[in-house]
Amino acid sequence: MQRKLTITLNEAVYEGLHTVIGRRKISRFIEDLVRPHVTTTELEAGYAAMAADEAREGEALAWSEGLIGDSAHETR
């Protein structure tokens, strides 16, 4: 479902959107920019997919364990 939204922009920004993005593509452009900041379902799905990747998780664990080992040898 789509909803209509009215926003106010500086004239230079408005003209830039028309020039660079194009008249009929501005809504999609703004939605693509904003979506990752306001929806969590895609982010949660991404994290779930990463967690399900056992090889990647193993590499991440080995890397983080290596960092802990490095910190034990640092001077304080």
The predicted model gives 3-8 an average pLDDT of: 93
Please write the tens of the pLDDT for every residue from 10-47: 999 999 999 999 989 999 999 999 988 887 777 788 88
Domain with 61, as residue range(s), is: 41-71
> Does some domain include residue 57?
yes
Burial 60-72 (b: 16+ CB within 10 A, else e): eeeeeeeeeeeee
Is the CB of residue 36 less than 8 Å from the CB of residue 43?
A: yes
> Does some domain include residue 76?
no
> Are both 8 and 33 inside the same structural domain?
yes
As for how many domains the chain has, the answer is: 2
> Are both 50 and 62 inside the same structural domain?
yes
> Are both 54 and 29 inside the same structural domain?
no
Residues 6+ apart with CB under 8 A from 29: 17, 21
> Are both 47 and 28 inside the same structural domain?
no
> Does some domain include residue 12?
yes
- The distance from CA 63 to its chain's CA centroid, rounded to whole angstroms, is 23
